[in-house]
Structure 1
Amino acid sequence: MKLPSLRRARPTELPGITGVVRLDRRTKNLTKRLKPGEIAVIDHVDLDRVSAEALVDCKVSAVVNVADSISGRYPNLGPEILVGAGVPLVDGVGREVFAVLHEGERVRVHDGALYRGDEVVAKGVAQDTQSVAEMMDDARAGLSTQLEAFTANTLDYLRRERDLLLDGVGVPEIHTHMDGRHVLIVVRGYDYRDDLVALKPYIREYRPVLIGVDGGADALVENGYVPDLIVGDMDSVRDETLKSGAEVVVHAYRDGRAPGSERLERLGVESIEFPATGTSEDVAMLLADSKGASLIVAVGTHNSLVEFLDKGRSGMASTFITRLRVGAKLVDAKGVGRLYRSRVSTFQIVALVVAGLFALGMAMVAIDADEVLWSILRARWNDFTYWIRELFT
């Protein structure tokens, strides 16, 4: 008699998203170690676009924010990007979760709650496309208050940095030569990857001075370039990039503190300090302008009021003033990519080659060249066509 086979019952799969958890109060630091499928726990009021795009690029399975991703102060862009990419977002679970959870544990996110096993570790609000859209509409109503604060911060920055902006007082001496040259400043910000790809013909032809602002230096290296100058507080650039031979300028505070200098000393990298208020991208622009750059092309920087406010920092007022200070020599990478065309077109190259071959052929007919000479020419022609293929691939 054949006995019925016994099958082990599979445990019921719990609802929600399960994965390894990574925690950090600074989103910028967290994205450096996130892996696809993991759950990110962040502490980021008014999640901005750059941070959200970095989280999406890491292919996280969910994002849990201990703070409010949209506080209502202004319409920040980050939450829309997350939910638009299909990444579940849970808000306002409370900062206590940092003391309860340990990095590397497996957790589960379901219906606005964070679970460790069967234990509810924290509860928040699960956001979706509709809820984010409603909160963004409410946030736009408070935009006028933020504009007033932005104006006040702008005036305060003008008072504190008047000598630097008007007379260049405090700009350090550097070895990198910029006088009369184009300068390309790369910030790991909005659309920097696409802009660098679009600028390849421009970089190849004009060979601008390449300045990487913190992680922007890594972006240059990732695209096959070696930065001439690295500017920033050195908190988000790789050690290998700092050791690439580029000149390094540390953005220091006005009170003399320069946290990035300690790291450079440990790496044995020489640096120059530039004390200034504002952001590191401001420092890079002011440095290029004061050293005589004829054109400054900005990649990944902020170029609209919405982007300034999206950073959620009073210091962004300095970027607005810095752009006014630099003036017409500053152009956005998108404008260069749309307007720039190589001065030598493909048609001109082909026409030149055809004309040369025609003249050579006529000369060969005129002198009645023998078979040996023709075979030599055929071999040279094969070498030439191979070179052309290599050139365009």
Structure 2
Amino acid sequence: MIFSGIAKIDRRTKNLVKRLKPGDIAVIMHEDLDMVAAENLVACKPRAVINCHSSISGKYVNRGPYLLIDAGIPLIDNAGDELASKISEGDRVEVVGGEIRKNGAVLATGAVADIRMLNARNQLAKEHMGEVFENFAANTLAYLDKEKSLLYSNLNMGSLRLDFRGRQALIVVRGSEFKKDLDTLRQYIHEQGPVLIAVDGGADALIEFGFKPNIILGDMDSVTDAALRCGAILIVHAYEGGEAPGMERLNSLGLEGIPIPSIGTSEDLALLLAFERGAELITIVGSHFSVEEFLSKGRGGMASTFLTRLRVGSVLVDAKGISKLYQNKVRPMLLIYLAAAAAFPIAAIFLVSPLGPLTQQFMRLLKLMFNM
């Protein structure tokens, strides 16, 4: 395996994909490459991906790296942190087997990932998942008491006045295969006109599909400048003490944002916002609710998400995976059956009409000509 390309490097994969182009070589530092990051990399169509860290560390079962292999994108794994100091953005690098070279010199050596290697690492992870689940459950239970206010306290929205009564709300989160699910909901969006709430990078997906988000909410760390300037209300997820790191970015762009402090994730905040503002139905796309997804985000528990869903559950529809449940595809055999069903009455009417006998004579003439 020998190939070369222009290196694009970043410590944060979600920042790298914003400038990664087809044919580039992505150099990432992403331990436990999660599904969302892998999907974003695949969408960019790089020549290869070099991970300085281990794409499957063995902490938990991880399916992310399989997406690269399935897409035919070579993955050079665990190349080492020192590679980042030897490569600069825009350098042309060559990969020979597991060796990463620049100007003929070997900079680092990684492992060429394949299905067998990924399966072996995940098997090791399975062997101690019991301990991982136990710690995850214990942490969740410990935080349930600390975060129980999510069940009854209202958000402090300051001067922000929003009223969703009589309307539905659609929340878009950057989760696994969320774009496929969003595509399936196109007709729903056109027909119902829900309030569109994007959590960070979910705003770019909505705009990509031709929809303008009404609200962009989150830490403002994975949404593009263009999306932030689309005219949506910008709500920055703040900590309980009021600190809101996302405001710094908005200020640098000359945009106004409204900080709202809340326990838990930005996804939790979006759900609570729609619920408290009176949305009659809340549909969420790309939500995170599995242990794997929480572990991939570095969260040791899910107390806030559990409590939030308990509170909003009466009006919540989780549309994650809806693209697999409903696929708007017409099978070839169905087309044949439909064509036959439509042709039969037309042929019957034609044959019993005055033109029928002429048609029969014409068919006999053709038969004689072909037999000659």
Deviation by residue 1:308-352 (Cα, 9 ceiling, x = unmatched): 3443433655334322332132112257776899xxxxxxxxxxx
Shift of 1:116: 0.8
Structure-2 separation of matches of 1:316 and 1:269: 32
For residue 206 of structure 1, the aligned residue among 180, 192, 200 is 192
Partner of 2:34: 48
- 1:249/1:47 Cα in 2 relative to 1: closer, same or farther (>3 Å)? same
Q: Would you say the 8 A contact 1:90–1:124 is kept in 2?
A: yes
Partner of 2:65, secondary structure, is helix
Deviation by residue 1:1-39 (Cα, 9 ceiling, x = unmatched): xxxxxxxxxxxxxx5121111111111111111011111
Structure-1 separation of matches of 2:281 and 2:150: 20
> Does residue 1:185 correspond to 2:171, yes or no?
yes
Normalised by the size of structure 1, how large is the TM-score? 0.77
Structure-2 separation of matches of 1:152 and 1:97: 38
Deviates more, 1:202-211 or 1:258-267: 258-267
> Does residue 1:160 correspond to 2:150, yes or no?
no
For residue 288 of structure 1, the aligned residue among 267, 274, 299 is 274
For residue 21 of structure 1, the aligned residue among 7, 14, 24 is 7
Partner of 1:244: 230
Partner of 1:268: 254
Equivalenced residues, count: 327
Structure-1 separation of matches of 2:196 and 2:103: 50
Q: Would you say the 8 A contact 2:51–2:75 is kept in 1?
A: yes
Please provide the CA RMSD for this pair: 2.3
Structure-1 separation of matches of 2:301 and 2:7: 32
Unpaired runs of at least 5, structure 2:
329-372
Partner of 1:57: 43
Structure-2 separation of matches of 1:211 and 1:169: 16
Shift of 1:274: 1.5
Partner of 1:376: none
Shift of 1:118: 1.6
Q: Would you say the 8 A contact 1:40–1:62 is kept in 2?
A: yes
Shift of 1:287: 1.2
Structure-2 separation of matches of 1:222 and 1:286: 26
Partner of 2:152, secondary structure, is helix
| Matching of residues 112-123 of structure 1 within 5 Å | 112-123=98-109
> Does residue 1:124 correspond to 2:127, yes or no?
no
Shift of 1:293: 1.7
Q: Would you say the 8 A contact 1:77–1:310 is kept in 2?
A: no
Q: Would you say the 8 A contact 1:67–1:93 is kept in 2?
A: yes
- 1:183/1:169 Cα in 2 relative to 1: closer, same or farther (>3 Å)? closer
Partner of 2:307: 321
Partner of 1:76: 62
Partner of 1:211, secondary structure, is strand
For residue 84 of structure 2, the aligned residue among 98, 114, 134 is 98
Deviates more, 1:332-341 or 1:307-316: 332-341
Q: Would you say the 8 A contact 1:202–1:340 is kept in 2?
A: no
For residue 75 of structure 2, the aligned residue among 85, 89, 113 is 89
Structure-1 separation of matches of 2:66 and 2:43: 15
Shift of 1:231: 0.4
> Does residue 1:108 correspond to 2:94, yes or no?
yes
Unpaired runs of at least 5, structure 1:
1-14, 342-393
- 1:84/1:117 Cα in 2 relative to 1: closer, same or farther (>3 Å)? same
Structure-1 separation of matches of 2:26 and 2:133: 32
- 1:117/1:339 Cα in 2 relative to 1: closer, same or farther (>3 Å)? closer
Structure-1 separation of matches of 2:61 and 2:239: 30
Structure-2 separation of matches of 1:315 and 1:246: 32
Normalised by the size of structure 2, how large is the TM-score? 0.82
> Does residue 1:228 correspond to 2:211, yes or no?
no
Structure-1 separation of matches of 2:34 and 2:86: 26
Which residue identity does 1:35 align to in structure 2?
Answer: K
Q: Taking every aligned residue pair, what percent have the same amino acid on both sides? A: 51
Shift of 1:234: 0.8
Partner of 2:108, secondary structure, is strand
Shift of 1:171: 5.3
Partner of 1:368: none
Structure-2 separation of matches of 1:180 and 1:78: 40
> Does residue 1:34 correspond to 2:20, yes or no?
yes
Structure-2 separation of matches of 1:319 and 1:37: 39
Structure-2 separation of matches of 1:157 and 1:290: 23
Q: Would you say the 8 A contact 2:150–2:307 is kept in 1?
A: no
Structure-1 separation of matches of 2:310 and 2:210: 32
Q: Would you say the 8 A contact 2:286–2:320 is kept in 1?
A: no
Which residue identity does 2:215 align to in structure 1?
Answer: L
| Matching of residues 316-355 of structure 1 within 5 Å | 316-334=302-320
Structure-2 separation of matches of 1:66 and 1:325: 42
- 1:149/1:168 Cα in 2 relative to 1: closer, same or farther (>3 Å)? farther
Which residue identity does 2:90 align to in structure 1?
Answer: G
